[in-house]
Amino acid sequence: MSSARQDNSGRVKTLLARMTLAEKIGQMCQVEAGDGHAPDNLGERLRAGLIGSIINVVDVGVLNELQRIALEESRLGIPLLIGRDVIHGFKTVLPIPLGQAATWNPALVEQGARVAALEAAKSGVNWTFAPMIDISRDARWGRIAESYGECVLLTSELGAATVRGFQGEDLAATGSIAACAKHFAGYGAVESGRDYATTNIPDTKLRNVYFRPFKAAVDAGVSTLMTSFSDLNGIPATGNSYILNDVLRGEWGFEGFVVSDWDSIRQLRIHGLTENDRESAAEACSAGVDMEMAGDAYRNHLSSLVEDGAISEATIDTAVARILRVKFDLGLFENPYTDPGALPEFGSETALAVAREAALQSIVLLKNDHGVLPLNTDGCSSLAVIGPLADARYEQLGTWIFDGDEELSITPLAAIGALVGDNTKIRFVRAMENSRSRVNEEFDVAVDAANASDAVLLFLGEESILSGEAHSRADIGLPGDQVELVRRIRATGKPVIAVILAGRPLTLSNIVDEVDAILYAWHPGTMGGPAIADLVFGITAPSGKLPATFPRVVGQIPIYYSQKNGGKPPTRENVVHIDDIETFAPQTSLGMSAFHLDTCFTPLFPFGHGLSYTTFGYGNIQVSAAEIELGQTLVVSADLCNHGDIEAEEVVQLYTRDLVASVTRPVRELKGFRRVRLLAGETQTVRFELHTDALAFYGRDGKATVEPGLFHVWIGGSSDTELRADFRIVKSD
């Protein structure tokens, strides 16, 4: 459901008719005014009506005053958009978006965005730059942390949920803020995961993969979109009329406005698309970028470009109308000021409860040998808690937490201590100053603590600074001397449970067999500690599922579940390992399929993987018909049984494959998912409705199509499920 919206077109038209060219261009300019960055002439420019938006001020007193100047001291009294990156929470920090994606729970993600919106709105913010819905299939890219992972459907559903959470049912209501879907388009495909690098994405892939979450956000009523920093097929996104004018506006009918990324208009010159800022302003404006974030190309050049006829005033009018419309939709003309008292306290009970639930559902149990988890407070009289991330309030929050309140954080160490009380003796050893440290002087102390305890909880991973914007890595293994720490602890022979906090999938091949269990906690946010403690001691069973494939080694990247089959797909029978190549046999066939000689062709953990403390069994997959016609709906069902003796939740996943198509299709595509709660021993039949429209893809002509033919359909607990049925789509008579 998209936000309710009044038709403000009449008001926009009337206001626009009263504006001078300078005032119009002013609306297209956003100014940075955070601590120490406000321009000296800020007040003067506001009074002259030359600023449309302010970024990075979160002091409600200051913001109310800036609004007052804009409203009362400028000729037309147009209120300001107040922008801020509220990416996964404001004061209360939710798990990083990649962690939230592991919940596979759109309703919870929506609640999380609502919590963030209420806290941001309390500070005077009325526009945020989220959700980031760039499909991310390269864990080297630091911004994978900000994404919902690799899957088109999961990203689309969670992106739309986030938009609903920020914007609410009524954008003009107190506590609603405008969302911004970013970064349009293709940013997640930057070469070798280097932030800001180039992307080359064929049109069919743009349409079938990278565009789709944005279309879903537009359908959910997102108010604004942000362009990407990256070069897309030779035309940087910020100057790309094809994606902005033709697709976004022309095909999808987007009526909100488009903002550049930070100074990305002037960067068109650095890309080599233009010679100077004036040309950059012309390119971006004609391509459909309505507002410039932070730079001054529009401010300095749009007016002369109009005077010289290079840009028509009609183009400017269109951009300004889009911006004004969002201001009217937000109700800023009626309610421009923020009354913090009208909104809940920061870190309210509700906010913390949502953050805790989100963390709980986001954590993925990757392995659990011999049921080492959950620990039992009675059976575990002493526990060694080791590692640099066990008690680091800030580091558990993750990237993009400008306003996050570290004081609200409850660390795993604190939460475990509170949970076990006097039952269990805790021995905490930090062992490393931070995750990157190569100083291992404290390892002996850690080993002593492990030797003296019944079990070890080893907190590993990356601290916040190793992921996020401009924080890409070429080697995504555990940094510093962590692998050595794992080996030393392993040698004690004690049960070792690794809890990994990280902003991306890490390559874990070198430690996966050295530990008994792995809980992958991402950067879990403010309430990460209590969530981890609950899972470790089995108060709740883990239910998170991977939103991104975990490679064995970096060289496998990009590796994702929805790859194409190719002409020579690898199978267990046609691959050869480097250690098995016979000496002096240069002509021997080495399998002749698409694999690497020095690693397995499968990932370490597939997309959708995640264990529980119970065992779920799937069976009896059924399709309601062996054949359906275009336009019909198929019902696919399977029985899910909780074989264990505890109640638990499972994320049931539905995948399809279109076997023959005029454009080759992926080997699997997620087409449905649902969180299901089952009592001990319970069996439920889980049903999915699959309309043939859900099987559409963009073909050679760039149009959506569903082609008749054979389809496979699977239901299961991860993308490698083998429980399959087949059906056929036939042409209607």
| Smallest distance, ligand BGC to C-beta of residue 196, A | 9
What is the token pair recorded at 565?
């089959």
| Smallest distance, ligand BGC to C-beta of residue 188, A | 12
Q: Report whether the peptide linkage leading into residue 374 is cis, meaning its omega lies within 30 degrees of zero.
A: yes
Burial of 225 (C-beta count, 10 Å sphere; 0-12/13-18/19+): buried
Q: Which residue is nearest to ligand BGC (CB)?
A: 129
Which residue lies nearer to ligand BGC by CB, 53 or 424? 53
Nearest one of 74, 60, 653, 590 to 346, comparing CA atoms: 60
Q: At what angle do helices 313-329 and 297-307 cross, to 10 degrees?
A: 140
Which residue lies nearer to ligand BGC by CB, 391 or 469? 469
Q: Which of 85, 231, 261, 391 is catalytic?
A: 261
Query: What is each CA distance from 156 to 88, 355, 524, 588, 715, in whole angstroms?
Result: 17, 22, 22, 46, 20
Nearest one of 263, 262, 252, 167 to 213, comparing CA atoms: 252
Q: Which residues bind ligand BGC (CB under 6 A)?
A: 85, 129, 182, 261-262, 469
DSSP state of 655: E
Per the CB < 8 A criterion, the answer to whether 623 and 727 are in contact is: yes
Name residues whose C-beta falls within 8 Å of residue 567's C-beta, 6 or more positions apart in sequence. Answer: none
Per the CB < 8 A criterion, the answer to whether 161 and 168 are in contact is: no
| Smallest distance, ligand BGC to C-beta of residue 262, A | 4
720 is annotated as an active-site residue: no
| Smallest distance, ligand BGC to C-beta of residue 180, A | 7
| Smallest distance, ligand BGC to C-beta of residue 187, A | 8
Name residues whose C-beta falls within 8 Å of residue 69's C-beta, 6 or more positions apart in sequence. Answer: 43, 46, 47
What is Dmax (Cα atoms) for the chain? 86
| Smallest distance, ligand BGC to C-beta of residue 468, A | 10
Backbone φ, ψ for residue 698 (5° rounding): -90, 125
| Smallest distance, ligand BGC to C-beta of residue 471, A | 12
Which residue lies nearer to ligand BGC by CB, 55 or 71? 55
Which residue lies nearer to ligand BGC by CB, 226 or 359? 226
Which residue lies nearer to ligand BGC by CB, 83 or 716? 83
Which residue lies nearer to ligand BGC by CB, 264 or 482? 264
What angle (nearest 5°) sits at the alpha carbon of residue 573, between those of residues 567 and 574? Answer: 40
Which residue lies nearer to ligand BGC by CB, 23 or 261? 261
Kindly compute the dihedral angle of the four CA atoms of residues 414, 415, 417, 419, in this order, to the nearest 10 degrees.
160
Instruction: List the catalytic residues.
Output: 261
